[in-house]
A and B are shown apart, each in its own frame.
Chain A
């Protein structure tokens, strides 16, 4: 399908000393940002000084507000992602190992994958209200596609000799699925999850911006509405940190699980 972002490779990772040397661009940018903003060269709403953003970030964190919003957002995103993993892995494995499942699901996946599911936000509001349920289900709807496609690819390319050997040794079909096919497809399942993770956050944020209430998305858009640019920047920094941590965590998990790869 070729629609996946290249995740598994660690294109930008660097060892210690080189790392220190290479973060200078960030430091430089932050200094320029601070100076430009302090000198009043740009509107405050456009770019408040970095120090103001930091102060806001600290106060939002200390009051527990930021943690609360982040918790709600992550709970929604993870619930949807887990649902998508459960359904997507199952469908993908079936497609990889059964002709009829492949026949049925393949056109649905090929048609559904390129469609921006995010346009269904008002539909999910109509069906499930503006609460958590609608968000979780839309996240799952969007995340299920990359997981299905990658699991399918993995399950399809399992070494047939492994499957035959297991068959000859008299293992049941169910056991074969669990013991042979799933482990062999695991790298691709994980790739699917790595692609789905940012999608789960993307969907949750937009949904929160539109429906309001709690969550990092609504906090950020609230900053726009109330002309509090420091809230927008502080939330964005928090979102970036969350994105970085989750991405690294998945890579570490991948390394642990696939030690034999």
Chain B
């Protein structure tokens, strides 16, 4: 991320230079992989920690068999629905709180209270309401990611440049139009920041909900492989899901910087 770019930019240009720089930059991950491999082959044994090469092979096998893809798509579907709902709800609530005193007064304390709840504690409640499965996972993801989006949107929308709002008012723009054309666009960067903070939480809460209250999805798959003693598969699925989470965060950060390039 930021500091990585700094290292890259100090290197002389040219493809070879860039490749070397990237190699040097990511070499520590290679070192850790070699240590892992050695640790598992010579010290602890493959039962406790399969060698990293074995994990990669197993992960590829699992992918080719295809069963894991079903679980992965269930998990990603849950995240997509839960996160979309919290983006829509969070942006509406955040802007509503920034614009209308009554909305702010009503939700302020409620948000402070929900903010203080470590979100995985909501899993049992969601089970009471929706039983075991997708509904529970989606609900917990929604509740778990709502707060950062509301807080960021609220902060962004309350600090919209007063001059912009006055100008729009003076030009005779209606309240609704002003919200859509002035306040919302000025709040985009804050909304993106909120979503950026929400994404890692959505994965944490997803895995938690799936481990405790689901018969499908990556969290459930990891836990049941562990309980059955299929540790090779367990490590492979964790590896796959880590890559997916890492890639998602990376793609979103790229998206954010390209969308907000004008900032």
Q: Is A183 an interface residue (CB 8 A)?
A: no
Query: Which residues, 106 to 136 on A, are CB-close (under 8 Å) to B?
Result: 106-108, 110-111, 113-116, 118-123, 125-127
Q: Is A50 an interface residue (CB 8 A)?
A: no
Contact A111 B124 (CB under 8 A): no
Contact B120 A240 (CB under 8 A): no
Q: Which residues of A contact B26 (CB under 8 A)?
A: 107
Query: Which residues, 222 to 237 on A, are CB-close (under 8 Å) to B?
Result: 223-224, 229, 232-233, 235-236
In-complex Cβ contact of B249 among A6, A21, A114 (8 A): A114
Contact A236 B197 (CB under 8 A): no
9 further contact pairs, Cβ within 8 A, besides A2-B197, A202-B204: A1-B1, A11-B154, A119-B219, A119-B222, A121-B226, A123-B226, A236-B122, A244-B112, A244-B116
What is the count of residue pairs linking A and B with beta-carbon distances less than 8 angstroms? 185
Complex interface: stretch among B12-20, B176-184, B233-241: B233-241
Least distance between A115 CB and chain B CB atoms (Å): 4
Query: Which residues, 1 to 29 on A, are CB-close (under 8 Å) to B?
Result: 1-6, 9, 11-12, 14, 21-26, 29
In-complex Cβ contact of B203 among A116, A120, A247 (8 A): A116
**Overall SS of chain B's interface:** helix
Q: Is A79 an interface residue (CB 8 A)?
A: no
Q: Which residues of B contact A24 (CB under 8 A)?
A: 105
Q: Is A45 an interface residue (CB 8 A)?
A: yes
In-complex Cβ contact of B200 among A3, A25, A126, A201 (8 A): A3
Contact A2 B196 (CB under 8 A): yes
Given contacts A119-B242, A221-B212, A236-B117, whether A102 and B151 have CB atoms under 8 Å apart is no
Q: Which residues of A contact B218 (CB under 8 A)?
A: 119
Given contacts A2-B196, A107-B28, A118-B207, whether A46 and B129 have CB atoms under 8 Å apart is yes
Q: Which residues of B contact A5 (CB under 8 A)?
A: 148, 151, 197
In-complex Cβ contact of A125 among B115, B123, B226 (8 A): B226
Contact A205 B116 (CB under 8 A): no
Contact A11 B121 (CB under 8 A): no
Contact B124 A2 (CB under 8 A): no
Q: Which residues of A contact B222 (CB under 8 A)?
A: 119, 122
Q: Is B261 an interface residue (CB 8 A)?
A: no
Contact B207 A119 (CB under 8 A): yes
**A209 and B209 alpha carbons, distance in the complex (Å):** 10
Least distance between A59 CB and chain B CB atoms (Å): 19
16 A-B residue pairings within 8 Å (CB atoms): A2-B253, A26-B113, A104-B28, A113-B200, A114-B249, A114-B250, A116-B200, A116-B206, A118-B204, A121-B223, A121-B226, A122-B225, A122-B234, A210-B211, A224-B127, A247-B115
Contact B4 A110 (CB under 8 A): yes
What 0/1 pattern do residues 99 to 110 of B give for CB contact below 8 A with A?
Answer: 000000111111
Contact B208 A115 (CB under 8 A): no
Q: Which residues of A contact B109 (CB under 8 A)?
A: 12, 22-23, 25-26
**A202 and B201 alpha carbons, distance in the complex (Å):** 10
Question: Which residue in chain A gives the minimum CB-CB distance to B218?
Answer: A119
Q: Which residues of B contact A26 (CB under 8 A)?
A: 109-110, 113
Contact A224 B124 (CB under 8 A): yes
Q: Which residues of A contact B219 (CB under 8 A)?
A: 119
Contact A21 B105 (CB under 8 A): yes
Given contacts A202-B204, A224-B128, whether A6 and B152 have CB atoms under 8 Å apart is yes
Contact B197 A3 (CB under 8 A): yes
Contact B200 A202 (CB under 8 A): no
Question: Which residue in chain B gives the minimum CB-CB distance to A102?
Answer: B3
Contact B110 A29 (CB under 8 A): yes
Contact A232 B125 (CB under 8 A): yes
